[in-house]
Amino acid sequence: MKKLVILTASLFLLLSGCGGNINPIPTVPPTAPPTASANDDPHQEPVVFPTGDYDKIFPDLGTKFTLTDKQQSLFDTYSKNFNFDVSVFKGADPIDVAQVFIECGCEGLWEGEYNLYYFAAKKVSKAQYKAEFDSDINTRDIRTRRDYANILFDKMKDGKFIDEGDDSGYVEFDSIENTSDYSNIVTVKMKLNMKQVNGIWMIDQNKWFETESN
């Protein structure tokens, strides 16, 4: 059975909107037309992570999302001084781009996520995107992002990229889905859909993730 999962514009909603079940909840990103205002082009500010007690949502499943040395270098260059200049990904491997995108989400770098989106239609404004981010971190501990990434995306760096032609393709990798009590964890294939723009592979906001399970 194939199911297309359309997720919110924010990785935080993907990761923490799942509740006790790792399967992402189908939701739709904000699509209201952008409004012209001085706040419509906000920029990233330093993210302050909580330092108090933190109860992890999941048991230790022995999984962990990590970057390769090459991906870490790309992330450091991309996020330095909050520039988020996508030109650093010119000619980069799509999997490397995807890994940096997920790391931006884990670190709360909403503008880093936003700049890596390809918007086919109904473009979400930066102001809308940041508003979603602000709403999320005001209601959920931002540290849960890393927990979900450790489980959902730990094998993405070992996935493979399928070029479908016409500047479209997807990263296929193993992930997991489970019951709410973790009594039935199974491996599934997940796809992260991407589009190439001016030699840069970007996250396809129109399709985003697709999972395949039996």
Give pLDDT tens digits for 152-170.
999 999 999 999 999 999 9
The DSSP result for 133-187, as a single string, is: HHHHHTTS-TTHHHHHHHHHSTTGGG-EEEEEETTEEEEEEEEEE--TTSSS-EE
CB 94 within 8 A of CB 201: yes
User: Which pLDDT belongs to residue 39?
Assistant: 59
CA-nearest of 68, 132, 125, 124 to 100 is 68
Identify the segments of the chain with pLDDT beneath 70. 1-39, 179-183, 213-214
Say how far apart CA 82 and CA 58 lie, in whole Å.
31
Say how far apart CA 5 and CA 2 lie, in whole Å.
10
173 phi/psi in degrees, rounded to 5: -150, 160
User: Which pLDDT belongs to residue 33?
Assistant: 39
Q: Which residue segments constitute the domains of the chain, with CATH numbers given?
A: 8-18+62-212 (3.10.450)
- At position 146, the amino acid (one-letter code) is R
Say how far apart CA 90 and CA 69 lie, in whole Å.
18
Give pLDDT tens digits for 108-123.
999 999 999 999 887 8
CA-nearest of 205, 194, 109, 189 to 156 is 189
CA-nearest of 190, 170, 138 to 10 is 138
